[in-house]
Amino acid sequence: MPEQKVFLRAEWRNLLIANYTCDPAILQPYLPAKTVLDTYNGLHLISLVAFQFLNTAVLGIKFPFHTNFVEINLRLYVKHQDKGEWKRGVVFVKEIVPRSMITFVANTLFNENYVTMPTAGQISKSANEINANYTWGKASKFSATAQLQTQAIAPDSIEEFITEHYWGYAAIDENQTHQYGVEHPRWNVHPLINYSIQTNFETLYGSNFAFLNAAEPHSVLFAEGSSVLVRKGYPIS
């Protein structure tokens, strides 16, 4: 398959990522065809991610009122074997954005699971610390404070596992899956000081994820982020 054309360029910045261990039986129904669950040291993980989507251009065009926004998503980790090579990627349970046109384009062209509801984010910095505060829906919040100075992600760490999945997968039907590539440099992380998560996972994501309301994250990351590009996708079967 020749390299696909670039569909989107943007910046993903100030990513808060809370990672929870999960029974694989809960995740199995969300697997698109030709993918299997990926694991970190035998753990099946699902992540709540909040971040800034900045300077967004689709097919080289920056559309007014759609260039800067906050996205909140819940995702799991998968892999797909292509000619003997494992491609590591993610599958989204749900992606929340504030603009209905973003939802329409992503769901139509990428078979994703976007929904539209209010989102917001504030980033502040002091001499030594950085604070991120994200809100969505009626009362959901994800905030964190971290050291301003970033550090490199260690090889074979959970930070590497979470951030180094460069493919997106979404079901087309029982037999076909939409696959698209995401490209960005290796990220740095801000060492975390504290965090707070207030949301109702059952209300937002269904009864399968009600257990997350009482669960403590396995880990929480504050990633600096970078410029990214998303390539046009194509079906695999």
Q: How crowded is residue 62: how many other Cβ atoms within 10 Å of its Cβ?
A: 13
Burial zone of 109 (CB within 10 Å; 0-12 exposed, 13-18 middle, 19+ buried): middle
How far apart (Å, rounded) are the C-alpha atoms in residues 186 and 199? 30
- Statement: residue 3 has pLDDT above 90: no
Instruction: Give the H/E segment covering residue 179.
Output: strand 177-183
Question: Which is more confidently placed, 33 or 64?
Answer: 33
Q: How crowded is residue 31: how many other Cβ atoms within 10 Å of its Cβ?
A: 17
How far apart (Å, rounded) are the C-alpha atoms in residues 165 and 168? 8
- Statement: residue 141 has pLDDT above 80: yes
Question: Percentage of residues in the chain with pLDDT exceeding 90?
Answer: 90
- Statement: residue 32 has pLDDT above 90: yes
- Architecture per CATH, 6-232: Beta Barrel (2.40)
Look at residue 1 in the predicted model and tell me its pLDDT.
Answer: 62
Look at residue 43 in the predicted model and tell me its pLDDT.
Answer: 98
- Statement: residue 84 has pLDDT above 70: yes
- Statement: residue 46 has pLDDT above 80: yes
